[in-house]
Structure 1
């Protein structure tokens, strides 16, 4: 369109008006295409066999709700039978995401499974849980029940590492370096305000405690990205320090229709770098999913309680 003479616009004004009106709809369709993959499974329940059900099992395996390489009696990798173990896994998923725990693949459950999310499992090695229900005492008479979680064995940075350095890996260039530095600094500053940590950027990424980069597909860390949609980033527990964005996503510095907000995702993944697992509080930064185009950068009380409990700080 841009290469045609300007007079074309005036020759067909109605056509261009229609195209402009339709443009937001096409962008919205792109941003919600992730909701389609599981649609045909809506209403599926225990005892049924339905083509494509194995994809739900693969999803639940990946995020910790089923044992890795779950198989039925036949040992088939494409098992489309809704068995007891799948029903139990679906119920656990529904509890974590505040859905009706029926064990049935209803529309809301399938919608939530298709949302963009962190690649770290909700349940790690069958030991961690989004609904930890830990009690944090606030004074002699009061307490609150929180739903933050930690990685198995509660890995933490040692007391001697109160200042953590971070750097940017060469990886894939997706957004401008200065923009990336700015939003990551903002995300680190938010965690610094509620923890005993300080964060300092270093130019020598090889010696940095925390290493940030954009990658596609299988990038050598044992946790491949899956292209546009679904898994948008992941980070490793202390003291590994690796934090990777999926370069196949559409990224933006501020909320943009159809794009993931870099700072919102960075804030979540930094929580993992510090030792936090996922929270079952939807408003918490450590909740596993985020909407396309949303900006979510205010740490919730559950996030604050989690980091302070893990490091035994006020």
Structure 2
């Protein structure tokens, strides 16, 4: 079986577009198409169907994907075994405009010599990302398995960053002129967060947030992307959404959207990093140190029950906390 074809299939499945897979692999879209077509002939099944937005896995493609990932990971491990540290540090983020990606970009701008590969796994269940870390497909993932007992044995998870939430509204919204807001002022608002997926960490986060502060979180409708959401906010006098303070959003100037910090307490989305405990990538320590150096937020902070602040813990903390120790080992704190 042609491992280049298998790798092309995996990247196309994760990115959802052949052109994006081709760009990442450094080949033409035609080359990716030919590789996948040859793989389909060898397997005797169709792996993808074409859509207006790119490609989607068939049922056979979904069944083949975890095995294909294992093949790619095995090849990468074999190469790494004879060339330790030669592969780029591959880190999964929730989105390329997310706070994690923004902070990673800040780090890379200060350390351009870092060989960094930032990817976004097209999965909602963080346990799938943990399995990808265990298999060696990625070196680390900014995801949280809220029950650490479900982590694979060799995957460790540390809390690295808190992303404070802001209310994002259009210029006609009643709260558009506010400079800050307390959580109590969000009650009865329609806070639209489309696309909350079952079993996702953000699904658990919004469930607990809504219960704690009696908020109306509306997840109705499919997620058509940030542009559609921003357009809806600009046109509405009653719809709002929640975004991370460091998340990067771009909208037309005439939208005149407003980002309003939430304080007393600051509502934060906790971000964790998962990585292998055995032989972690040598470039990972510097990334963890960079996140550890971020300034904490002053004042009262609310986090969901399954999270804790970096460097802090209490008897109710259910999250595994660890650090990379000298000589590539891992110390559990």
Which interval holds the TM-score relative to the shorter structure? under 0.3
More strand by share: 2
TM (normalized to structure 2)? 0.23
TM (normalized to structure 1)? 0.24
